[in-house]
Structure 1
Amino acid sequence: MKFAVPNFDIVSDFFGNLNGIKFSVPGSQWFLVPSFMSHLASEGFNTYFETLPEVFVRRRANGAPITVGNLIIDSKPEIVCLENNLITKMEIKDRVSAFKDSLCIAYRGNKKQIDLCDLKDRPMAIPNPATSSSGMAFKEYYEKKCGYYGDLKVNSIICNVPHREIPQKILNGQVDYGIMWESEAKHWKFKNYFPYDVSRNFSWLLIKNSSPSASDIFNRISSGDLNIYYTKYHFKLL
């Protein structure tokens, strides 16, 4: 499984020491990871985090190696965070509900809040439903409300690694609008809207055969050890 983002420093999605307790979490949480690591380090834990699109996270949790440039990372994560609809056919030791996040249409400046079904006529960045849960959620809602999803492909850019590509394209003026999670829009200070609350629930998973130290951290997470960082960016805790 190769991980690459055109014109972006992909190493930014890999944090810490590979000898540490291994996490794989959705890419939309990348800006939280330094705080997570600092907090866990203060409690005596050495950690490694990778922040990837959700489909990548699931494949990593099931043992798939990931290739970054010329580097192959084949060590399996011990703790993952994943959107609930993707938690199937996985070897899990324990599970706890984490948070929910909602879709939004993000933009900068004084642009109008255009009707969702009219966005097909505007330059827009969309998360790929083949790699991300935000992409899956948006595709499902768009088809329900507006019809043929393929119409969007004429003026839109489909992004395989949305947490990196979409903010960059909005900031660079390559697109007028971008689909992302509300928490991401909050981080980037983008204006945002959506006609309806389309949300997805996420859970923390302790993977089977994880280390005793990973189990210790998982119990701390289950007790709310990291909640303060989620509430800062308006994640809705479950």
Structure 2
Amino acid sequence: MKFALSGFDMVSDFYGSPHGIRFSIPGSQWFIVPALMSYFASEGFQTYFETLPEVIVRRRANGAPMTVGNLIIEDKPEIVCLDDELIHNMKIKNRSEAFEDSICVAYMGDRKQPDICHIENMRFAIPNPTTTSLGLAFKNYYEKECSYYGELREGSTICNVPHREIPQKIMNGQVDYGIMWNSEARHWKFKHYFPDIVKRKFSWLLMENAQSPAAELFQRIQSGVIDRYYSKYGYIIANK
């Protein structure tokens, strides 16, 4: 039985059956999940995915429950994908380098490509640095190479935007530019620049609570069987 009401069927960051092998991965990878689930199913693995901001992925991996409306999801993920910068003080059984992604400036149409240090009075959307590694990486770069990050709030730049909202803001004309991952800009077929300057590495983690089916699937992930789904969008796959 399917239950959905217009305006209320909003659980778009959760996929599959909670009885399957539980994954928690960054929200920027949402567009890859259907292909991953289909492939895993063809190999006999039932899976459940959460696509969340990286900081929340880390909290989930460390045991924090997830509340969605009146629903509380308490089961911990068994396999996690996370920015290497956020992997510390975590109880894991195994770790495998996954891939690398880079920050870019995405836009549509015929626009100039402004210097990143002179965007304070432009219509830019910048992701939240407190919940996403993307936003934090951009903030760190801006403060190192340009100026005080807080000055961006004084202009027309929109800061602290949930990264999943940025593509829609660009397409709707609410902003002219948006900071996003190179992979997601490719997915949306946005024009983009500023590539390969700020990079982040990600790893797959097999959590301490993982059961045998999750451990078996993790071994397959380590072998590179899903790398093609990521390389399609420009992720730089780690050497196995």
**How would you bin the TM-score normalised by the shorter chain?**
over 0.9
Q: Give the Cα–Cα distance (whole angstroms) in 2 for the partners of residues 193 and 72 of structure 1.
A: 40
Note the 1:83-122 alignment, pairs <5 A.
83-122=83-122
Shift of 1:8: 10
Aligned-partner residue type, residue 157 of structure 2: S
Partner of 1:219: 219
The residue type paired with residue 29 of structure 1 is: Q
Give the superposition deviation at 1:74. Answer: 1.0
2:178 aligned with 1:171, yes or no? Answer: no
The residue aligned with 1:132 is 132
Alpha-carbon offset, residue 68 of structure 1: 1.3
In structure 2, do the counterparts of structure 1 residues 8 and 89 end up closer, same or farther at CA, with 3 Å as the change threshold? farther
SS in structure 2 opposite 1:72? strand
Whole-Å separation in 2 of the counterparts to 1:190 and 1:235:
16
Q: Where does structure 2 lack aligned partners over 5 or more consecutive residues?
A: 1-6
Question: Which whole-Å CA distance do the structure 2 matches of 1:55 and 1:45 have between them?
Answer: 27
Distance 1:234 1:9, change over 3 A: farther
Structure-1 separation of matches of 2:235 and 2:196: 17
Change (3 A) 1:131 1:10: farther
Q: Secondary structure at the match of 1:175?
A: coil
Q: Distance in 1 between matches of 2:104 and 2:61?
A: 28
**Counterpart AA for 1:67:** T
2:39 is matched with 39
Aligned counterparts of 1:195 and 1:79: Cα–Cα separation in 2:
29
TM-score by length of 2: 0.93
Pairwise CA distance, 1:195: 6.8
Deviations 1:189-229 (A, max 9, x none): 01111176110000000000211000001000000010010
For 1:168, the aligned partner's letter is: Q
SS of the equivalent of 1:110 reads coil
Distance 1:140 1:201 in 2: 16
Greater shift in the superposed pair: 90-99 or 65-74: 65-74
Report SS of the residue matched to 2:55.
Answer: helix
Partners of 2:160 and 2:191 lie apart in 1 by 20
The whole-number CA distance in structure 2 between the counterparts of 1:49 and 1:97 is 20
Aligned to 2:29: 29
Q: 1:20 to 1:131 in 2, by over 3 A?
A: same
SS at match of 2:97: strand
Cα distance between partner residues in 1 of 2:152 and 2:191: 21
Measured in 2, the distance between the counterparts of 1:119 and 1:159 equals 15
What is the aligned partner in structure 1 of residue 158 from structure 2?
A: 157
List alignment gaps of at least 5 residues for structure 1. 1-6
Give yes or no for contact 1:131–1:160 (8 Å, CA) kept in 2: no
Q: Is 1:80 aligned to 2:80, yes or no?
A: yes
What secondary structure does 1:228 align onto?
helix
Structure 1 residue ranges (4+ consecutive) displaced by more than 3 angstroms after TM superposition: 7-10
Cα offset, 1:9, TM superposition = 6.7
TM-score by length of 1: 0.94
Q: Percent of pairs identical after alignment?
A: 62
Q: Alignment RMSD, CA only?
A: 1.5
* Contact preservation (8 Å) 1:52, 1:161: no
Q: Which digits, 9 at most, give the CA deviation of each residue in 1:126-155, with x for residues without a partner? A: 111100000111001001111110111132
Name whichever of 26-35 and 191-200 sits farther off.
Answer: 191-200
User: What pairs up with 1:138-149 in 2 under 5 angstroms?
Assistant: 138-149=138-149
SS in 2 for 1:142: helix
**In the TM superposition, what is the alpha-carbon distance from 1:159 to its structure 2 partner?**
3.8
Count of residues in Structure 1 that have an aligned counterpart in Structure 2: 231
